[in-house]
Amino acid sequence: MNILLIGSGGREHALAWRLSQSPVCEKLFASPGNPGISECAECVAIDVADHAAVVDFCRANSIGFVVVGPEAPLVDGLGDSLRAADIKVFGPNANAAVLEGSKGFVKDLCARENIPTAAYARHSDKASALADLARFGLPVVIKADGLAAGKGVIIAETEAEARDAIDHMFGGGFGDAGAEVVIEEFMTGEEVSFFAISDGTNVVPFGSAQDHKRVGDGDTGPNTGGMGAYSPAPVFTPALEAEVMERIIQPTVKAMARDGRPYSGVFFAGLMLTAQGAKLIEYNCRFGDPECQVLMMRFEGDLVELLLAAATEGGLAGAERPVLSDGYALTIVMAANGYPGTPEKGGAIAIGNVGDARIFHAGTAMRDGQLVANGGRVLNVTASGAMVTEAQAAAYAAVDAIDFPTGFCRRDIGWREVVREKVQS
Ligand code: AMP
Ligand code: GLY
């Protein structure tokens, strides 16, 4: 079977690596792909916003299956267009991708289905949002309803900050995404990323990971798309996973199917492990980046088979949970100087002997035969180990074998677990 993968980041490089290993995969195409992905797929330029062009490409190249990496094409209905053309696709239709596309939709669903999450209010005008603020106390969380490239969440420590955030959102600061605002109670606890794969009716747990969102060591500085991750997250015990499947994921699958929005694809649940148990922060309709890289490092099955089953009605009925390796995988994001602001482009990169580590390309390009930085997050340096401490040491040894003078990385990815492992030993 020929397969088309949509996307260009480290997540997609990790997916391409595993997809291309499947005996079911005859030829893998990626659009637009990147220099790393080009080692396991043919990179092609298709305008993904032009659904007819994607369908035409699939027909011309006998594509039997499309795997969509990022959320935007799904929220934009690429899944619908492909299904209408009888092409199998991994990723939900637009009416189910709304789980990522509208934060207010998810909060209402949680309220209806009794799914644990932070208390909230939806507002579509500024005056009512401002008038409602006081009852949430401080800090308070202000969110633009729609997709805002991961930037639409403000944690306001003071009332003035909260009012400014509301002003900014209704003033068009996040475009249409801020036409509606969600105010949320601030939750405290440790955050975990949890993944589950659904065919619309059946759902299997996939695995957990912990991301590092802040740009600086010790979780300081501005938020980013993620500076490193490891999997599994041991704080997310089997008992917690069972609780989350029963109280959060399964009720969501059921409600979406009942409401005529069957969700087929991956659930990426952002969870807060609070004193009252695990609560949903948000859903994403795609794999996390860089969480996907560590999950793929551990995944032992046939990725095409699994994702195809999810793309087939009832395909996961009676399915066993996917097998991930024991031990840990850890990935370190090497970013270009300036990230998460304006990253410096064009800096040369030389990858030396990285041993067993795996380098996923995120924002790279080839210029005149030279690998260069071409984005904010540039490389994902990924390694395995029996403990997080070992995986971390292997990953940093690989980082140190990479010459990337205009880049940087955090030096403490996995710190929470490294501290806990030290205490236990
Ligand atoms: P989101 O884009 O919804 O994942 O939010 C980005 C980040 O904001 C999350 O990863 C959390 O760290 C934080 N966050 C979002 N909602 C809340 C909340 N209700 N309480 C505390 N932190 C939150
Ligand atoms: N690493 C967080 C995300 O993919 O949204």
- Please give the pLDDT value at position 147: 83
**What is the 425 CA–ligand 2 centroid distance (Å)?**
31
pLDDT digits (tens, 9 = 90+) for 263-282: 999 999 999 999 999 999 99
Q: Name the closest-CA residue to atom 9, ligand 1.
A: 281
**What is the 289 CA–ligand 2 centroid distance (Å)?**
5
pLDDT digits (tens, 9 = 90+) for 359-406: 999 999 999 999 999 999 999 999 999 999 999 999 999 999 999 999
**What is the 287 CA–ligand 2 centroid distance (Å)?**
8
**What is the 311 CA–ligand 1 centroid distance (Å)?**
29
**What is the 281 CA–ligand 1 centroid distance (Å)?**
6
Question: 284 in ligand 2 pocket by Cβ < 6 Å?
Answer: yes
Rounded to the nearest integer, the mean pLDDT of the chain is: 96
- Please give the pLDDT value at position 259: 97
**What is the 71 CA–ligand 2 centroid distance (Å)?**
11
Ligand 1 is surrounded, with C-beta below 6 A, by 118, 141, 153, 184, 186-187, 191, 213, 270, 281-282
Question: 282 in ligand 2 pocket by Cβ < 6 Å?
Answer: no
Question: 69 in ligand 2 pocket by Cβ < 6 Å?
Answer: no
Q: Give, for ligand 1, the residue of 282, 284, 289 to mutate: max count of ligand atoms closer than 8 Å to Cβ.
A: 282
Question: 288 in ligand 2 pocket by Cβ < 6 Å?
Answer: yes
pLDDT digits (tens, 9 = 90+) for 164-190: 999 998 888 887 877 889 999 999 999
3-state SS, the chain, equals CEEEEEECCHHHHHHHHHHHHCCCCCEEEEEECCCCHHHCCEECCCCCCCHHHHHHHHHHCCEEEEEECCCHHHHCCHHHHHHHCCCEEECCCHHHHHHHHCHHHHHHHHHHHCCCECCEEEECCHHHHHHHHHHHCCCEEEEECCCCCCCCEEEECCHHHHHHHHHHHHCCCCHHHHCCEEEEECCCCEEEEEEEEEECCCEEEEEEEEECCEEECCCEEEECCCCEEEECCCCCCHHHHHHHHHHHHHHHHHHHHHCCCCCEEEEEEEEEEECCEEEEEEEECCCCCCHHHHHHHHECCCHHHHHHHHCCCCCCCCCCCCCECCCEEEEEEEEECCCCCCCCCCCECEECCCCCCEEEECCEEEECCEEEECCCEEEEEEEEECCHHHHHHHHHHHHCCEECCCEECCCCCCHHHHHHHHHHC
**What is the 146 CA–ligand 1 centroid distance (Å)?**
14
pLDDT digits (tens, 9 = 90+) for 313-327: 999 999 999 999 999
Of all ligands present, the nearest one to the C-alpha of 193 is: 2
Q: Would the pLDDT of 148 be above 90?
A: no
Q: Given the CA of residue 211, which atom of ligand 1 is nearest to it?
A: 10
For range 209-230, the mean pLDDT: 96
